[in-house]
Structure 1
Amino acid sequence: MNRRKGIVLVIIGAVFWGIGGTVAKKLFQQYQIDVDWLVTTRLLIAGLLLLAIQYFKKDRSQILGVWKNGKIAIQLIIFGVLGMLAVQYTYMASIKHGNAAVATLLQYLAPVMIILYLIVRKQTTLTSRDLLTVSLALIGSFLLLTNGSISQLSVPVLAIAWGVLSGVALAFYTLFAIPLLKQYDSLVIVGWAMIIGGFLLSFVHPPWQMDYKNLTLEAILYLVFIIIFGSMIAFWFYIESLQSLPPKESSLLGSIEPLAAVLTTIFWLKEPFGFFQWLGTACIIGMILLLALNKESSSKTSQPPDNKEPLRVS
């Protein structure tokens, strides 16, 4: 029963992540919602909700305890600004200038960047699996962005730039979070990181500076979905799934996220997607599956069995 519960939780969380990006694109297209305002509001509300879950369900002393250690506090601020805020903003900006499918798939280049970083730092060696993974990522990205034609890109250059930056930010986010997660619950770290990022971005676009009167009921429901389901519940369900599933299985099932983004972009937003873009999508999803399989085998030999998983956000 616990295993079935874990499978259901991780699938729901991954689907919410993927759909959340597509819903954001709908807000950008139909209601001209500002990216800065959406990211600010999403981070602040979702962060408060995550800390509320920690307060009522887990060790509430960690919520303020994380700030009592000066070194940890500085690391948390860096993580909130260069990790959480950077990931959220670049991802949403890529969606605004392109679409949720491309933004999500480009963000999933982050694992390749992590592999290359670890190789350069000589913390791991290059394997045949690594070569295959990088090849799938590069070929998939080329097909996704060009639809098989070198003469023109199938998505705007700005969308590509923001998408690649999103992958870089996610790579930093994943690597930088590891020492923090060894000392504090993930809900505390992510909750505070969201609040820090949202607070900083509030100086660029305060959340109260919004013409709420022009928002329709449909737009409000979209906003609620992004904040509650696409952020808070998606992350919470994924973390909870790790209580009854090994990291390998959670990661494999989590790869449903880009597929959900692609399918909702095509069938709900009615955006065109060519044959070669489907091929590119298959390559990148294949890359994610290979990395997920490799992650488990590596963790068995190099990591203690604490069932800690790198954080996920879209």
Structure 2
Amino acid sequence: MVAINLGGRGKFGLPPGLSRLGKAGVGRVPPTALVLAGIVSLQIGAALAKRLFAVTGPVGAVSVRLGFAGIVLLVFWRSALRIERRALPVVLAYGAVLALMNVSFYEALDRIPLGMAVTIEFLGPLAVALVGSRRWIDPVWAVLAGGGVLLLTQADGPVAWTGVALAILAGVFWAGYILLSAKLGESTSGGGGLALALAFGGLLIAPIGIAEAGTALLQPAILAAGLGVALLSSVLPYSLELEALRRISPRVFGVLMSLEPGAAALAGVVLLSQPMNISQWAGIACVVAASIGATRMATP
């Protein structure tokens, strides 16, 4: 099936503790609500990370986020951390791409509004969905998405084109992340590979983050905020999405996840005071429509 895939989030399963919690606490919640809650959590986490930049810088914020996310998952998956030697290159490559994707995105977020950064980055999974398809309508979705990005750049003030370029780079890494996630799902079982990949990504970026932020990373307030970003941007949304994927089809999941650029724009307006004009909202609507169209009209 050709559809919007945000990184193989359904391949690894939930940690045992979270799985029991999911069955007890969210088992009766509609899966649509779980997906939307995951989207909201992810964007709140991005907004919180943006507020850290003044102290930690973008790379410092990535270091704290990946570090805490890796620790949390290593604890949950401590009984499944053994992997075969042939899977090690995939784990390391996955962790490296994940780290570079987050660094590119946070650097873009430091220069352009949250809604613009997420929408442009979203071109990565959309491209993956369209490249493998041979349907006549697919160029329509590509043109619609491209037009949406052009509308997004019609800001009332000057546009930081470096931020746009970094968001595009983050989308490229997101596409690579999607492809590698399939390999990781084939090479490992459970969440041990994912936990090790996150930990490796955090270690890979840590020297740069420490050089950028210095001792600020050791401040209790920064550590607490970093833990919050890790939970809101990684652990909670992935857990909610995985629980939802047990009860809805990947096609429906992809359509719901297509709303993520709109949610990011709203989070930017409400949490970061980043207003957007009519042209920019129209641009986001174009990218969302292209994503929904590519997902709904996907064929086996």
Aligned to 1:84: 98
2:231 is paired with a residue of what secondary structure? helix
Residues 235-250 of structure 1 aligned to structure 2 (within 5 Å) = 235-250=238-253
| Offset at residue 132 of structure 1 (A) | 1.6
CA gap of 1:117–1:243, structure 2 versus 1, over 3 A, is same
* Contact 1:3–1:244 (8 Å) recurs in 2: no
* Contact 2:58–2:110 (8 Å) recurs in 1: yes
| Offset at residue 175 of structure 1 (A) | 1.1
| Offset at residue 220 of structure 1 (A) | 6.0
Deviations 1:169-200 (A, max 9, x none): 00011012212213434633332221111111
Give the distance between the partners of 1:129 and 1:51, measured in 2 at CA.
44
| Offset at residue 34 of structure 1 (A) | 1.3
* Contact 1:80–1:196 (8 Å) recurs in 2: yes
Residues 248-259 of structure 1 aligned to structure 2 (within 5 Å) = 248-259=251-262
* Contact 2:129–2:294 (8 Å) recurs in 1: no
Give the distance between the partners of 1:143 and 1:253, measured in 2 at CA.
23
| Offset at residue 9 of structure 1 (A) | 2.1
* Contact 2:81–2:192 (8 Å) recurs in 1: yes
Give the distance between the partners of 1:234 and 1:50, measured in 2 at CA.
14
* Contact 1:18–1:259 (8 Å) recurs in 2: no
Give the distance between the partners of 1:89 and 1:188, measured in 2 at CA.
23
Aligned to 1:63: 81
Quick one: which of 130, 136, 141 aligns to 1:133? 141
Tell whether 2:157 aligns with 1:159.
no
How many pairs align? 274
- The 4+ residue runs of structure 1 with deviation greater than 6 A are none
| Offset at residue 221 of structure 1 (A) | 5.6
203-212 vs 154-163, which moves further: 203-212
Residues 179-218 of structure 1 aligned to structure 2 (within 5 Å) = 179-185=183-189, 187-206=191-210, 209-211=214-216
Aligned to 1:18: 43
Using the aligned pairs only, state the percent identity: 22
Give the distance between the partners of 2:141 and 2:158, measured in 1 at CA.
23
Give the distance between the partners of 1:225 and 1:283, measured in 2 at CA.
32
CA gap of 1:54–1:290, structure 2 versus 1, over 3 A, is farther
Q: What letter corresponds to residue 118 of structure 2 in structure 1?
A: T
CA gap of 1:212–1:73, structure 2 versus 1, over 3 A, is closer
Q: What letter corresponds to residue 172 of structure 2 in structure 1?
A: V
136-145 vs 14-23, which moves further: 14-23
Tell whether 2:271 aligns with 1:271.
no
For structure 1, the 5+ residue unaligned runs are 119-123, 302-314
| Offset at residue 222 of structure 1 (A) | 4.1
Give the distance between the partners of 2:217 and 2:172, measured in 1 at CA.
34
Aligned to 2:114: 100
* Contact 1:40–1:205 (8 Å) recurs in 2: yes
Aligned to 1:142: 150
| Offset at residue 290 of structure 1 (A) | 1.7
1:271 is paired with a residue of what secondary structure? coil
Give the distance between the partners of 1:198 and 1:42, measured in 2 at CA.
8
* Contact 2:66–2:199 (8 Å) recurs in 1: yes
For structure 2, the 5+ residue unaligned runs are 1-25
* Contact 2:262–2:285 (8 Å) recurs in 1: no
Deviations 1:103-133 (A, max 9, x none): 1111100133324643xxxxx42x2331121
Aligned to 1:52: 75
Aligned to 2:62: 39
Deviations 1:206-256 (A, max 9, x none): 3993326877x5x66643331111221112221222112211222222233
CA gap of 1:186–1:108, structure 2 versus 1, over 3 A, is farther
* Contact 1:10–1:241 (8 Å) recurs in 2: yes
Q: What letter corresponds to residue 66 of structure 2 in structure 1?
A: L
Give the distance between the partners of 2:108 and 2:267, measured in 1 at CA.
16
* Contact 2:39–2:260 (8 Å) recurs in 1: yes
Cα RMSD for the two superposed structures: 2.5
* Contact 1:115–1:130 (8 Å) recurs in 2: no
